[in-house]
Each structure stands twice: as C-alpha cells, then as structure tokens.
Amino acid sequence: RAVNAAKRAERKQQLREKKRHEELQRLEKERQAEIRSYKSLMVSEKMSSNKQIATTSKSLQKLEEDFM
C-alpha cells in the first residue's frame, strides 16, 4: 500500500509539472505571437495624419530630424 501511495503521489507530481510546463509553453507562445504582431505599435494615439502634421509649425525636415 505504501508503495502504491508513493507511486500515485509521484504520478500526481509529474502530472502537475507537466501541466505547469505546458502552461509556461502556452504563455511563451502567446508572448512571441504578440511580439510578432504590430498591436503595440499600431495604436491610433501614437499616429498622426498628414493634416495634423501640416497644421503644426514644424517643417517636414524638422519632423524627420525628430524621428531620427
């Protein structure tokens, strides 16, 4: 009986470790997919239109210098 209980406990531990490992892999895969996507870059608050740029007093050359 003690041997059986020990084996069951060991199997449970292995199953927990396997599930944890799979969850970590899933999270890493999601993180990599998000890095490859442009979601964080293509935010409308960070974008400006040509009309908005034209209304500012900066010249195109100054904007390009700021960009670099």
Q: Which helix (H) or strand (E) holds 1?
A: none
- 62 alpha-carbon distance from chain centroid: 33
Return the higher-pLDDT residue of 19 and 57: 19
How sure is the predictor about 8, in pLDDT bands with cuts at 50, 70 and 90? very high
Q: Residue 58: what pLDDT?
A: 65
Q: Please state the pTM of the whole predicted model.
A: 0.52
Model confidence over 44-56: pLDDT tens digits? Answer: 777 777 777 777 7
59 pLDDT exceeds 80?
no
Measured CA to CA, the distance from residue 31 to residue 25 in angstroms comes to 10
Q: Which residue has the higher pLDDT, 50 or 58?
A: 50
What pLDDT does residue 62 have? 76
Instruction: Provide the number of structural domains found in the chain.
Output: 1
Tell me which residue has tokens 């100054």. 62
- Residue 44 domain boundaries: 2-67
